[in-house]
């Protein structure tokens, strides 16, 4: 069978299953998740054996140690997948929620009701645990999912796909609600991106190359974030101890993530007091500083930032620093250079808090807190499939609710259009 | 200046203006709409003169009478534009609405707040009144808009664009919040579709050719409906008088619209009773019927439907008719052939109402009412910029609220990621 036919067959199966999934009870969806957890626990040895195949192949291929590490499924990872299944079981089922309800003058009763999106394609890279976490969220939200993991984890992914399908059947749900693409050719992805009759949303989870490939080529709506250029602005009235702690956390707690800080903006009124202390502390944490002229005058000897720096997502222990004359300049800089993901202000001024949160055009805007907190668990969504910095549908963490949308249902007594 | 540069310059201006618009007060936005209404009223003669240029050019070009009719702005049209402005003034401003608010265990206060989308590009065809109606909705929802009307209405559109810009200035709002693209080359549209740094959403309003061109080529999210294949299912327990009235309204009240019915499904238990009466009535209204085998046996002599008919949006006085054995077959047929726009059931059975509204996967699902009622005014949104049958962001009429989205704002006291 050629790639195109194979992809269509799988997508059609997932679509048919989605019409069963949209009416599945919370109880049966939770049962499926429970059975997956039980199977993962009892089939540890077999799963680790499949994973070993991937690791061996990866070593032969010369994958880096870091890559092999992400590929590995040990008991700790299996425990963590089981925990995430149990966490999702506890979450409220969003399907069927009536989000508004009203009556029109002609007597029509109108309700908006939350329903699954349908078929979601999730494209991810090395980590095989995404398989379980993504399946948990899509099953619980009543969707079908097509999982397309990286070629290097294919044995692990196929094995987990089988576990999931058996669990669905045991819970009397359609096994095609979770499909694993066994063909990891990029051509197969390209074909999926055209199937607008069968696929409702595409979610790419991975590096820029993957995200851009999907966004550039998809005829189907895509949920993604395409960059994480996040800022922290230290206002004139900031508590400087807090400013130091929060900005340091935003940079160094896990610099490779999308919600870590890339640029620090400092009000000129406190720059002389704050910057020398800040520079010392960040340098002690091995952060390379790239600074503007004004900063350089206060802390000589630092590397000068170029225009390119202000628009760069380092994902590394590098930080650009700029002195601004007021909150207005800070907001203008952020709206120009930010990727509209997560930006923060440290201030004691309530008017500035309000101004900053309204005017900074980002998915999550923080006052006196670390940008690293833009996260499904931290925001109380329970789990997330990713963070979106787009404007449509969902901004910020994408959890169960964001995997649904609202449709209108209308109850009439023979109403006509006049 | 080349097309690309021109388009970028205009989009950048609109983007800058959007940061002013997002903080504009309801009062000043309403003022702008009021000034537009006043100017339309006082400048009728001049506007009609510009419109006359378009009509004259259109006649020379050999445009059809129907096309010229859509192009025309007479006093009645101007009155109607003024009324739509006044209607939008009365609508609640969605910007700034707090849609949820809660506190996390670490003390963070989280709010979700409704904010404008940013820059919206609306691409429309012949009717110049879209200019005013689209500007009214985008101004009121705090967005910037780039209006790209058809070349045949260019003089009318440019004149109205000037009226709008003057009104914005008078209301102390940025005039670049409404931009009219004076270049009506399709190349200019193609350029706009690439500007993901300046444009947040594209809304094509027009025929399939336009919508497909935009959806196929846009790197920016698109809000649209791509077809209106709508169904009415007459259940076994239906009030047959109501069934006849509602289905007739759904077909003939305005057959060219996206929410008019294209296929009638009839339960086999009432087919013998209903179909002969229905056929007579619809034929009296000049509707051509294309029917399945079972219908043909009950009402001989009708044209037989082909497989293609079930998937066709006629937008005309044509209806396909099929007898189904039960509600299950009706739902399966609809989910397979429907464009997921508007579908209806006529029934007295409450269980069937619930089953149908949950399982039919469409933007609006009706019980005992005409599919023609899927409309912003009918649903109480006040006005709409179009109807979406996509799953993400907004299903159904796109009104003021749907021109906004929710962002997170987080108030902390120094919270860090652990």
Q: Is residue A388 part of a domain?
A: no
Nearest-angstrom CA–CA distance, B117 and B104: 27
Strand order in the sheet with A201-205: A178-180, A144-148, A119-124, A201-205
- Structure confidence by residue, pLDDT tens digits, B194-224: 999 999 999 999 888 889 999 999 999 999 8
Instruction: Residue B374: list chain A partners with CB under 8 A.
Output: 408
A403 shares a domain with A337: no
A166 shares a domain with A60: yes
Contact A221 B223 (CB under 8 A): no
A204 shares a domain with A241: no
B111 shares a domain with B208: yes
A42 shares a domain with A146: yes
Nearest-angstrom CA–CA distance, B108 and B104: 5
Question: Domain containing B362 — which CATH number?
Answer: 3.40.309.10
Across A290-309, b (16+ Cβ under 10 Å) vs e yields bbbebbbebbeebeebeeeb
pLDDT attached to residue A416: 98
Instruction: Residue A411: list chain B partners with CB under 8 A.
Output: 353, 367-369
B237 shares a domain with B197: no
- Structure confidence by residue, pLDDT tens digits, B12-27: 999 999 999 999 999 9
B242 shares a domain with B217: no
Residue B184 pLDDT grade (very low, low, confident, very high; cuts 50, 70, 90): confident
Instruction: Residue A223: list chain B partners with CB under 8 A.
Output: 392
Q: Is residue A238 part of a domain?
A: yes
Instruction: Residue A390: list chain B partners with CB under 8 A.
Output: 221
Give the closest residue to A410 by CA, choosing from B343, B348, B384. Answer: B343
Phi, psi of A16 (to 5 degrees): -55, -45
Question: Domain containing A63 — which CATH number?
Answer: 3.40.605.10
Cross-strand pairs, B203? B122
The low-confidence residues of chain A, meaning pLDDT below 70, are: 1
- Structure confidence by residue, pLDDT tens digits, B322-372: 999 999 999 999 999 999 999 999 999 999 999 999 999 999 999 999 999
Inform me whether the pLDDT recorded for B227 exceeds 90. no
Kindly provide the ipTM of the predicted complex, given to two decimals: 0.94
Question: In A314-394, where do the E strands start and end?
Answer: 318-324, 342-346, 364-369, 387-388
pLDDT attached to residue B1: 65
pLDDT attached to residue B294: 98
What range defines the domain where residue A353 resides?
A: 230-378
Three-point CA angle B357, B358, B363, nearest 5°: 65
List Cβ neighbours of B350 (8 Å cut-off, separation of 6 or more): none
Nearest-angstrom CA–CA distance, B17 and A335: 12
Q: Is residue A415 part of a domain?
A: no
State whether residue B363 sits within 8 Å of chain A by CB. yes
Closest CA in chain A for residue B216: A219
Q: Is residue A418 part of a domain?
A: no
Rounded to the nearest 5 percent, the helix, strand and coil shares of chain B are 45, 20, 35
The residue with tokens 């010369």 is A62
B144 shares a domain with B32: yes
pLDDT attached to residue B126: 78
B247 shares a domain with B194: no
Q: Is residue A383 part of a domain?
A: no
Mean pLDDT over each residue of chain B, to the nearest integer: 96
Tokens of B138: 């985008």
CA distance, residue A335 to nearest chain B CA (Å)? 8
Residue B127 pLDDT grade (very low, low, confident, very high; cuts 50, 70, 90): confident
State whether residue B286 sits within 8 Å of chain A by CB. no
Domain count, chain A: 2
B183 shares a domain with B244: no
Tokens of B17: 């203006």
List Cβ neighbours of A18 (8 Å cut-off, separation of 6 or more): A116, A118, A119, A143, A144, A177
Q: Is residue A386 part of a domain?
A: no
CA distance, residue A131 to nearest chain B CA (Å)? 23
Nearest-angstrom CA–CA distance, B393 and B182: 30
Q: Is residue A374 part of a domain?
A: yes
State whether residue A364 sits within 8 Å of chain B by CB. yes
Mean pLDDT over each residue of chain A, to the nearest integer: 96
pLDDT attached to residue B350: 98
pLDDT attached to residue A1: 65
A337 shares a domain with A354: yes
Tokens of B354: 């619930």
pLDDT attached to residue A207: 83
B259 shares a domain with B130: no
Q: Is residue A416 part of a domain?
A: no
Q: Which of residues 177-236 of A touch B (CB under 8 A)?
A: 200-201, 215-216, 219, 221, 223
Give the closest residue to B72 by CA, choosing from B114, B126, B20, B23. Answer: B126
Instruction: Indicate the helix (H) or strand (E) that contains B415.
Output: strand B404-415
Tokens of B255: 């057959």
Give the closest residue to A140 by CA, choosing from A373, A380, A375, A385. Answer: A385
């Amino acid at each position: 069978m050629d790639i195109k036919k194979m992809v269509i067959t799988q997508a059609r199966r997932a679509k048919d299953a989605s019409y069963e999934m949209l009416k599945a009870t919370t109880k049966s969806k939770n049962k499926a998740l429970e059975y997956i957890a039980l199977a993962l626990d009892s089939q540890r040895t077999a799963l680790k054996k499949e994973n070993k195949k991937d690791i061996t192949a990866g070593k032969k291929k010369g994958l880096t140690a870091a890559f092999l590490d992400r590929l590995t499924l040990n008991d700790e990872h299996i425990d963590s997948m089981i925990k995430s299944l149990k966490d999702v079981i506890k979450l409220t089922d969003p399907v069927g929620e009536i989000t508004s309800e009203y009556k029109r003058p002609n007597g029509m009763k109108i309700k908006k009701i939350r329903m699954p999106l349908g078929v979601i394609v999730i494209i991810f890279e090395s980590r095989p645990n995404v398989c379980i976490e993504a399946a948990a969220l899509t099953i619980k939200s009543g969707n079908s999912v097509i999982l397309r993991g990286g070629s290097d984890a294919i044995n692990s992914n196929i094995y987990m796909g089988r576990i999931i399908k058996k669990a669905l059947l045991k819970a009397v749900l359609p096994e095609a609600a979770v499909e694993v693409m066994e063909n990891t050719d990029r051509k197969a992805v390209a074909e999926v991106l055209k199937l607008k009759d069968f696929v409702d949303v595409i979610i790419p989870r991975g590096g820029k190359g993957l995200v851009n490939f999907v966004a550039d080529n998809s005829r189907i709506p895509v949920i993604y974030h395409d960059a994480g250029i996040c800022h922290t602005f230290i206002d004139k009235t900031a508590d400087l101890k807090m400013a130091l702690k929060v900005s340091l956390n935003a940079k160094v707690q896990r610099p490779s993530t999308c919600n870590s800080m890339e640029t620090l903006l400092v009000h000129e009124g406190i720059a002389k007091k704050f910057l020398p202390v800040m520079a010392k502390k960040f340098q002690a944490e091995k952060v390379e500083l790239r600074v503007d002229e004004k900063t350089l005058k206060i802390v000589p000897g630092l590397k000068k930032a170029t225009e390119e720096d202000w628009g760069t997502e380092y994902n590394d222990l590098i930080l650009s620093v700029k002195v601004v004359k007021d909150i207005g300049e800070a907001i203008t800089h952020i709206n120009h250079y930010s990727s509209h993901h997560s930006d923060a202000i440290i201030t004691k001024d309530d008017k500035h808090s309000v101004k900053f949160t309204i005017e900074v055009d980002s998915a999550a805007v923080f006052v006196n807190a670390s940008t690293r907190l833009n996260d499904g668990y931290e925001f109380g969504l329970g789990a997330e499939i990713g963070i979106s910095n787009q404007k449509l549908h969902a901004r910020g963490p994408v959890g169960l609710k964001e995997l649904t949308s609202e449709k209108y249902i209308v109850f009439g007594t023979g109403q006509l259009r006049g």
